[in-house]
Amino acid sequence: MYKKFTDWIGLKEKLHEKMNIVPRIHEGDIWWASLGENIGWEINGKSKDFTRPVIIYKKLAHGFYFVIPATTKTRSGTWYVHYRYRSTDAIACIHQARAIDYRRFYSKVGELDNNNFQRIKAGFAALYL
């Protein structure tokens, strides 16, 4: 399998230099975020910008967030939580949760309804707490 590590490093340098105003980001939002080209079973971003949808789980500090990557591929196990956004079935990949800087965010997709967000939070608590 070909990995695009050098492409990712180039984009990562550009993201690091990006100094704009921190966007309004709230818990339960879904954003496209540049997660990169990763190793082994770690979830990768897609496209030339290495992006993937993420669910904002918690704001940790100004411009720093704990996120849960998402996928539309069918998955099962205690580390996945199914949710619906608009008319799309999706999976929150609880085991791939991580902290990221605001400069990785590209665009807001929308926000989860309270029922779906609470189910994801319960899945996270069941796996980690």
Which of 15, 50, 17, 12 has the alpha carbon at shortest distance from 32? Answer: 50
Yes or no: say if 83 and 121 are a contact pair by the CB < 8 Å rule.
no
pLDDT over 90 at 103, yes or no: yes
Read off the tokens for 116.
């779906």
pLDDT at 1: 67
pLDDT per residue as tens digits for the range 38-78: 888 888 898 899 999 999 999 999 999 999 999 999 999 99
AA identity, residue 11? L
What is the reported pTM? 0.92
pLDDT at 113: 97
Which domains, ranges and CATH numbers included, belong to the chain?
5-128 (2.30.30.110)
| Cα 12 off chain centre by | 16
Residue 17 phi/psi, 5° resolution? -80, -15
Rg (alpha carbons) of the chain, rounded to whole number: 14
- E-strand spans in 16-97? 29-34, 51-61, 64-71, 80-85, 88-93
pLDDT per residue as tens digits for the range 5-27: 888 888 888 888 887 889 999 99
Mean pLDDT for 31-39 is 92
